């Protein structure tokens, strides 16, 4: 499985960001998204099969963390993608502050970004 294609998907990048510094249970990861737990589980499965996350089982719970060794070649790319996303969010926030009527435009822009 091509790691670049796997991390190119925005939700998978966000999952990697969430588990980059600490291990998290699948349920906690899923709380960060507006999609079903099943959809998040599928993303986690793709990341696991690509060798980009490590899974630890504790009873019925599964805990995920980024496999930083496997991700080492892609770390600069991931950090840039995360920074770009933060810059986009900051731009939207600033635009909303400058023009309160831009709330609808900002919401539409954020929704469009989520589709990417």
pLDDT of residue 85: 60
How far apart are alpha carbons 50 and 5 in whole angstroms? 10
CB 26 within 8 Å of CB 40: yes
- Domain enclosing residue 29, as ranges: 3-115
Nearest CA-CA partner of 78 in 62, 67, 64: 67
E strands of the chain, at which residues?
24-25, 53-58, 61-66
CATH number, residue 34: 1.10.10.10
Nearest CA-CA partner of 19 in 4, 31, 9, 29: 29
Overall domain count for the chain: 1
Reported as a pLDDT band with limits 50, 70 and 90, residue 116 is very low
Q: List, for residues 36-92, the tens digit of each pLDDT value.
A: 999 999 999 999 999 999 999 999 999 999 999 998 888 887 777 767 665 555 556
pLDDT of residue 92: 63
Other residues' Cβ atoms within 10 Å of the Cβ of residue 96: 17
Q: Which residues 6+ apart lie within 8 Å of 36 measured at CB? A: none
pTM above 0.75, yes or no: no
Specify the higher pLDDT residue, 26 or 106: 26
Q: List, for residues 55-70, the tens digit of each pLDDT value.
A: 999 999 999 999 999 9
pLDDT of residue 60: 94
């Amino acid at each position: 499985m091509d790691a670049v294609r796997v991390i190119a998907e925005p939700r998978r990048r966000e999952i990697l960001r969430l588990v980059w510094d600490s291990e998290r249970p699948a349920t906690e990861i899923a709380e960060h998204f507006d999609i079903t737990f099943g959809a998040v589980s599928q993303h986690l499965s793709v990341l696991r099969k690509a060798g980009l996350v490590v899974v630890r089982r504790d009873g019925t719970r599964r805990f995920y963390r980024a496999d930083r060794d496997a991700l080492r070649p892609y770390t600069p790319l991931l950090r840039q993608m995360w920074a770009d996303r933060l810059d986009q969010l900051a731009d939207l926030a600033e635009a909303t502050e400058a023009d309160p009527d831009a709330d609808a435009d900002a919401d539409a822009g954020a929704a469009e970004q989520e589709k990417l």
